Amino acid sequence: MALWAIADVERETGIGKDTLRVWERRYGFPAPQRDERGDRLYDAEQLSRLRLIRRLLDAGYRPGRVVGLPRDALEALAASALAQNLAAPQHLPGSAGEPDHLADDQLAPWMAWLRQDQTLRLREALRSAVRTRGLAQTVEAVVAPLCTAVGHAWLRGEIGVYQEHLFTEVVQATLREAIARTDETHPVGLRPPRVLLTTSPGEQHQLGLLMAECFLALEGCDRLPLGVCTPVAEIIGASERTGADVVALSYSDHASRRDVVETVAQLRQQLAASVELWIGGAGAVRNMRRVPPDVVVLRRAVDAAVQVRLWRQRRGLA
């Protein structure tokens, strides 16, 4: 019978060693065997369940809700999460015309390249899309549906943790290249508004933030990307010290209602009244009725460009 060491389980599932040990004490799972040196060894059934648990955590479930469940209950929750994801609208109405999104049959080769670890094919296909479609159309019509397809494949267990990470890295690298080329077309300097981009503590996903930045770059905006998981106090301090006109946050579909509502309310209360607060991503849209009325919710990445134009119009800069 095959057995895996704790380092192997961490690599296969993306769940850290310390987390596995805490779950073992707190929830009684996993329940590894021990070798002659006392090191933990996990069998195939536990590894399989841990993969399911990781998918459910990424879908927004809390450890206390899923870690101790038997396999059949975990599979039922995963199926339910996938059904909810499929039922949700994938392209929410926005302020611009709908681009020509990749259809399911057109997504198939992209997903095949990901499953076959053909990273170079993915990268070249994305670069080609930017050249032929332009950056805006690539983000809306190619990257957005691909992110949805990858998320569904992850929930089904059809791709591994490393493949999801590979996809993210390829997309990030390609979009950053495109942003750099776009900035070169504004030799006289970037224009206001100055937009500070980040995510709040606990939000690790940054693709949505980068997609919005693409549209800000196309508008010639001055941008201050801080990366992910910036503490609220640091966001406020950075806004003050850099003279930001806008603070923009991204919330993935995995963000809890509490994370979105409490953080946004705290920021809106403590940011200067002159600083606008924009939030986007599936988590923001899902909780848009619970945030302060003066917070701008971007339903799609392209709405960042729309809001820039409106901001400039209000200040006579259009």
List the domains of the chain with CATH numbers. Answer: 3-87 (1.10.1660.10), 104-182 (1.10.1240.10), 189-314 (3.40.50.280)
In the numeric block, the tokens 């923009």 are attached to 248
DSSP 288: G
Comparing C-alpha atoms, which of 142, 274, 267, 147 is closest to residue 199? Answer: 267
Give the Å distances, CA to CA, from 89 to 86, 96, 138.
8, 17, 19
Q: What's the pTM value of the predicted model, to 2 decimals?
A: 0.75
In angstroms, the CA 160 to CA 55 distance is 10
Task: Quote the longest CA-to-CA distance of the chain.
Answer: 75
Query: For 103-122, what is the mean pLDDT?
Result: 90
Element (H, E) at 4: strand 3-5
Q: Please, how many CA atoms are within 13 Å of residue 132, restricted to the half-sphere of its CB?
A: 8
Instruction: Give yes or no for a contact between 139 and 182, defined as CB atoms under 8 angstroms apart.
Output: no
| Sheet arrangement for strand 221-225 | 221-225, 191-198, 246-250, 276-280, 296-298
Query: For 275-296, what is the mean pLDDT?
Result: 93
In angstroms, the CA 77 to CA 52 distance is 9
In the numeric block, the tokens 């648990």 are attached to 53
Comparing C-alpha atoms, which of 59, 38, 61, 47 is closest to residue 14? Answer: 47
- pLDDT attached to residue 89: 44
Instruction: Give yes or no for a contact between 47 and 12, defined as CB atoms under 8 angstroms apart.
Output: yes
Confidence of residue 99 (pLDDT cuts 50, 70, 90): low
Of residues 278 and 99, more confidence is placed in 278
- C-alpha 62: how far from chain center: 18
pLDDT tens for each residue of 128-163: 999 999 999 999 999 999 988 887 787 777 888 788
Cis, bond preceding 187 (omega within 30 deg of 0):
no
**Does 292 have pLDDT greater than 50?**
yes
pLDDT tens for each residue of 262-279: 999 999 999 999 999 999
Q: What's phi and psi for 296, nearest 5 deg? A: -85, 125
